[in-house]
Structure 1
Amino acid sequence: MKVGVIGLGSMGMGAALSLLRAGHEVTGCDMREAARAEFAAAGGAVAAKASELPQDTEALVVLVVNAAQTEAALFGEDGALPRLAPGAVIVSSATMGPDAARALARKAAERQVLYLDAPVSGGAVRAREGAMTVMASGPANAFGAAGPVLDAIATKVWNLGEEPGIGATVKVVHQLLAGVHIAVAAEAMALGIRAGADPRQLYEVVTSAAGNSWMFENRMARVLDGDDAPRSAVDIFVKDLGLVTDMARGLDFPVPLASQAQQLFTAARAMGQGGKDDGFVIRVWQAMTGIKLPGE
């Protein structure tokens, strides 16, 4: 299958490599030369602009940052739409609000291409293993057309219904949990350090007990190693928790924990940490209390 992947970041690169391993004819698109070079070295074709994708591309996975980038990648001046084959399917996997997903689906339908509202989760490691979770909604023919792509990039594909926007809704709720879990993991680790607990022993105790979470186990391991290279950056959760509060506001629904977590990530960004791994929101507590983090 002739597949394009727009966005060769931590998740997009993994998806593109997984599609390549599955035997598809894959072109990875990214403006960054280093990302293109990495994918080319793995045997994939590359493009710097979506408008440079191969003609008659049959499926397009879009793993950019947000709805605005997705719209530009598909329908903008250098967008991919003219390169798509008749009946091609768009697998739209950026995290966005449900209204944005529905608007993009309408644009795709007007241009007679299929659209799957299909945000993903799993992180960079699972993406490279072809083991992401996909939270998808869209018509049955879009699921059918995207089947070979989804088989290559995911081990779990949730079919959440025929209406675009449901997948986006579920992802926004997921990001509420993910963001709050990361923030509280950092708070707990910072409190333990401030109180004099050995951080590695604290980590071992928590990860073997009922208070553990996937985010604590994953993110605090990086904090212990002093590894702030971004797999998922602080800036992502400033954005995604903003989507949570926006969606909740439209429903007259209070989300106090998500709002507080967003403020903590915003504080980290204000400190110049926006491009760092999101677990390093812990530096907000470091700035307030003077604790020393492992490896420093």
Structure 2
Amino acid sequence: MPEPAPSAPAGPRVAVIGLGAMGLPMATHLVAGLPVTVFDVAADRRALVTAAGAADAASPADAARAADIVLVAVRDQAQVTAALFGADGAATTLRPGGIVVLTSTVGPDAARDTAARLAERGIRLVDAPVSGGPTRAGTGDLLIVVGADPDALRAARPVLDRLASTLTVVGPDPGDGQALKAINQLLAGVHIAAAAEAVALARGLGLDPAVVIDSLAQGAAGSFMLADRGPRMLQAYGEGAEVRSRLDIFVKDMGIVTEVAKDAHVPTPLAAAAQQLYLLGERAGLGAQDDSSVVTVLSPRDGAGDR
């Protein structure tokens, strides 16, 4: 059984499962204020957090054995299911009354199903998808939207308050947070796609995309995604942008958006068009690259814009 590092601070014991682009900085930030145990399939990622003071674990079950709160930060619902309910899943050892904080974007139905399975074991789910990117995750500056009953939310507050600069309680049920996160991802996904079209058109017209991005970002056409992804789109035509958010994450997330919208009988034509652009990018082999690389689907690296 893993033991917290000797210098671990007092507070609820936290197990972080998943040390990817968001899980790694979140875990590292939590270590400074709470006793943390971590698990990821990649030993080198675990080593980065244990060097900061976390305890290492050999499996999700091992990480959760002494935990009060398990924070799950994995890519999709299949990984959530494996991390919690697999043979070595965290739910097999987390004590009844324990809390699972689900930070992954999986959709409302998946969150409700997960909550129901955990409830059979006496474990409560706090549905808390996060937004803001790795840099903000590492400084406790995330937007977190929450669906949870008040008692579960109160128990999870030491973790959520350390990670979030903005915490919005959407409703009392798991799935409520995921519903608002889907709306967030609709806007984010459409904005990235629109920024890619703007950069592609600038290249096609023979304009300097860097000048175009800088100019547009100052006016009414500006957006966070244009200012953030625009410069990274330019890097896509060089050595490639640092991978901060994989393109295939938006394939998943826009799929959730369009499915939720279909179930609600709400037309979302712009979201559907953006989803197709990300699918084209994935089909072109860009799935593991930064989502800004989707611009190269619209304006290829060796296309007319390269002049």
Shorter-chain TM-score above 0.5? yes
| Amino acid of the structure 2 residue aligned with 1:228 | A
Of 282-291 and 37-46, deviating more is 282-291
Match of 2:27 in 1: 16
Match of 2:227 in 1: 217
- Structure 2 Cα separation of the partners of residues 272 and 10 of structure 1: 20
Q: Is the CA contact (8 Å cut-off) linking 2:185 and 2:254 kept in structure 1?
A: yes
Q: Is the CA contact (8 Å cut-off) linking 2:64 and 2:90 kept in structure 1?
A: no
Match of 1:239 in 2: 252
- Structure 1 Cα separation of the partners of residues 305 and 43 of structure 2: 37
Aligned length: 293
Cα-Cα RMSD:
1.7
Q: Is the CA contact (8 Å cut-off) linking 1:56 and 1:86 kept in structure 2?
A: no
Shift of 1:155: 1.0
Q: Does 1:88 find its partner at 2:101?
A: no
- Structure 2 Cα separation of the partners of residues 30 and 291 of structure 1: 44
Q: Percent identity?
A: 42
Q: Is the CA contact (8 Å cut-off) linking 1:17 and 1:39 kept in structure 2?
A: yes
Q: Is the CA contact (8 Å cut-off) linking 2:108 and 2:178 kept in structure 1?
A: yes
Q: Is the CA contact (8 Å cut-off) linking 1:32 and 1:48 kept in structure 2?
A: no
The 5 A counterparts of 1:42-81 are 42-53=52-63, 55-81=65-91
Q: Is the CA contact (8 Å cut-off) linking 2:96 and 2:121 kept in structure 1?
A: no
Residue-by-residue CA offset, 1:142-201 (whole Å, 9 max, x unaligned): 111101001111111111111211111111111111111101101101101111111211
Residue-by-residue CA offset, 1:48-81 (whole Å, 9 max, x unaligned): 4212215220011101111221122111211001
Match of 2:303 in 1: 290
Match of 2:191 in 1: 181
- Structure 1 Cα separation of the partners of residues 71 and 95 of structure 2: 14
* Structure 2 gap segments, 5+ residues each: 1-11
Q: Does 1:136 find its partner at 2:146?
A: yes
| Amino acid of the structure 2 residue aligned with 1:247 | V
| Amino acid of the structure 1 residue aligned with 2:208 | D
Match of 2:261 in 1: 248
Q: As a proportion of its length, which structure holds more helix?
A: 1
CA distance 1:93–1:244, shift in 2 (3 Å) = same
The 5 A counterparts of 1:159-174 are 159-174=169-184
* Structure 1 gap segments, 5+ residues each: none
Q: Is the CA contact (8 Å cut-off) linking 2:205 and 2:305 kept in structure 1?
A: no
Match of 2:289 in 1: 276
The 5 A counterparts of 1:142-153 are 142-153=152-163
Match of 1:208 in 2: 218
Residue-by-residue CA offset, 1:200-224 (whole Å, 9 max, x unaligned): 1111101111111111111112123
Residue-by-residue CA offset, 1:75-96 (whole Å, 9 max, x unaligned): 1211001332342111011101
SS in structure 1 opposite 2:97? strand
